[in-house]
Copies of this chain bind each other. A is one copy, B any other.
Amino acid sequence: MFATHWRRYAAALCGLTLAILGGLHATSATQAQADPLPTWNDGPNKKAILDFVAAVTAKGGADFVPVADRIATFDNDGTLWCEKPLIQGAFMLERFKLLLPKNPAWKLEEPFKAILAKDREYLANAGEEELVKFYLATQANLSKDDFQANAAKFFATAKHPKFNVVYKELTYPPMVELIHFLQANGFQTFICSGGDVDFMRVVSREIYNIPVENVIGSSLVYDVRDQDGKLTLFRSAKLHFFNDKIDKPKGIWLHIGKRPIFAAGNVRSGGDIAMLRFTQSGKGRSLQLMVNHDDDVREFAYAEKDRASLNASETHGFHVVSMKNDWKKIFAFEK
């Protein structure tokens, strides 16, 4: 009884202290108004993000969303980090060169022949089939542990041909900031990318603060092997799931089982239109960002031939983010 009484008293005292603290904090916040997105320029896109987060987190508001349903999905290549070249593509190429001496037949076979010849025309017109063939040839037939050890080595050493930094430094600070801002507001943030799930998981926590269990990606069929009394996973040369375009909503549903209320993708291949539309097909308020690569000074400027992603943005009201105009920085290493 005595202990209970004192515990109640202490709890009340602490409650009071927290109230004082809270009050001071509010005063301080009013004074300072810390910007949660400091590398975003003021404008309609930054305002749309801030308004959306304020609306879905306002208790009692018309657009309030409980924490459990605050789900955000981000494409990776071209949305969270640079995709010229595709970072996993550079990793695949490194492994391709390593494996070539043992696979001389590749010299006569597409798409390997075109890759060796740097046949830009062939590669520009290559589709999913060629990409998957290259993926299976270079990312399979080894254990999951060895694959991830190779990837970790690649991330520690390989450098981007233009920017001359390791690839981990090619993340976009405005997007990383946005992930952290959403997390601070109770969102669960997921990557939903065409990249290989084991590849992205090597760095997702470090560079985005996204835990490996929140990474949705393409995958190979695993073989389970019994070695020295231990069960290990082996990456077989069979595709399990290619997480792109119309398949992204499938990957999201299988993994999360909830419809996201926020998604971000980018202009290049139309790969994110379905994810953004899926996010928008629920009942409540949602927000979609379509990142546009329009800065050939700080990064690259490129467009889709068929303008599919920009057309879809107009039709469906996605917010087109101009890297040139909306972002104060594209890379952290900028001066």
On A, residues with C-beta under 8 Å from B are 3-4, 6-7, 10-11, 13-14, 17-18, 20-21, 24-25, 27-28, 31, 68, 144, 188, 197-198, 201, 211-213, 215, 219, 221-222, 224, 229-233, 240, 246-247, 249-250, 253-258, 274, 277-278, 281
Contacts and interface: CB of A to CB of B under 8 A. Distances in A.
Interface residues of A: mostly helix, strand, loop or mixed? Answer: helix
Contact of A222 (B253, B258, B281): B253
A99 to B, nearest CB: 24
Contact of A231 (B27, B212, B249): B249
Given A24-B7, A254-B197, A278 B231 contact: yes
| Closest A-B pairs by Cβ, 5 of them | A212-B257, A230-B281, A14-B17, A10-B21, A222-B250
B68 A254 contact: no
Contacts of A188: 213
B3 A11 contact: no
A213 B21 contact: no
A22 to B, nearest CB: 9
A229 B188 CA distance: 26
Contacts of A253: 144, 222, 233
Given A213-B255, A257-B213, A14 B21 contact: yes
A24 B233 CA distance: 48
Contact of A10 (B20, B31, B232, B258): B20
